[in-house]
């Protein structure tokens, strides 16, 4: 079972996380950033991941808690995948959210890379600082050790764009971590990812 429990405690944050890659999309999330809670709930639901997450930040701003959640969530994916035998490795999706369209592509490559083409026009969506979207994705991709391409192809409403990205990330990750039962090799000609 690809199920991990992790904690991360620093001078700035205290986070406890449980991730089950083979769940049903259930989640209990409390980061103290309500819009971010909503986005992580959508990520889990659309990925079919069970995710329990409790995070307390230092109250300075939301940067520390959002970035540290990206670190721990990425680490959880890396640990849950283990040797990566039998995974699909690649996942991608186009996610329409009303007038916006996002494209998310994932390679569980072992080579952390983020390509980010998203322009948001607001400073905040609710209590979520829009610049933190990229910071979260950097932390997540670096610690999951994945190549991640995130693009907003078009759209006007910042809420729709960010929501499309989180839903799309869940769906792309679900496709990439899916087990190919008929082929339990590491999906690389090198034999290792």
- Looking only at Cα atoms, what is the longest distance across the chain? 50
Q: Which residue has the higher pLDDT, 167 or 184?
A: 167
What size, in residues, is the chain? 193
List of E strands, the chain:
3-9, 13-20, 27-30, 50-57, 90-97, 100-107, 113-117, 124-125, 128-129, 147-154
- Assess whether pLDDT exceeds 90 at residue 184: no
Q: Map out the domains of the chain as residue ranges.
A: 3-177
Lowest mean pLDDT among 57-61, 117-121, 156-160, 187-191: 187-191
- Assess whether pLDDT exceeds 90 at residue 172: yes
Kindly report, residue by residue over 109-138, the tens digit of the pLDDT. Answer: 999 999 999 999 999 999 999 999 999 999
Helices and strands in the chain: count of H runs, count of E runs: 4, 10
CA distance 94 to 27: 23
Which one is the CATH code of 3-177: 3.40.228.10, 3.50.30.10, 3.30.230.40, 3.40.50.10140?
Answer: 3.30.230.40
pLDDT at residue 65 in the model:
97
pLDDT at residue 126 in the model:
97
pLDDT at residue 158 in the model:
98
**Per-chain mean pLDDT for the chain:** 96
CA distance 183 to 56: 41
Kindly report, residue by residue over 54-84, the tens digit of the pLDDT. Answer: 999 988 889 999 999 999 999 999 999 999 9
Tell me, yes or no, if the pTM score tops 0.95. Answer: yes
Helix H, strand E, coil C: the string for 35-76 is HHHHHHHHHHHHHCCEEEEEEEECCCCCHHHHHHHHHHHHHH
């Amino acid at each position: 079972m690809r199920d991990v429990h992790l904690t991360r405690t620093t001078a700035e944050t205290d986070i406890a996380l449980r991730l089950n890659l083979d769940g049903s999309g259930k989640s209990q999330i409390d980061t103290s950033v309500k819009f971010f809670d909503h986005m992580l709930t959508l990520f889990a639901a659309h990925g079919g991941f069970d995710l329990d997450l409790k995070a307390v930040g230092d109250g300075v701003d939301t940067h520390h808690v959002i970035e540290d959640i990206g670190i721990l969530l990425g680490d959880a994916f890396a640990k849950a995948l283990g040797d990566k035998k039998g995974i699909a490795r690649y996942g991608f999706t186009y996610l329409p959210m009303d007038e916006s369209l996002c494209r998310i592509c994932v390679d569980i490559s072992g080579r952390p890379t983020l390509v980010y083409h998203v322009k948001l026009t607001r400073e905040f969506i609710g209590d979520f600082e829009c610049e933190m979207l990229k910071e979260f994705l950097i932390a997540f991709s670096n610690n999951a050790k994945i190549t991640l391409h995130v693009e907003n192809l078009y759209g006007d409403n910042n809420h729709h764009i960010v929501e499309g990205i989180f839903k799309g990330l869940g769906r792309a990750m679900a496709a990439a971590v899916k087990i190919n039962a008929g082929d339990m090799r590491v999906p690389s000609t090198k034999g290792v990812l």
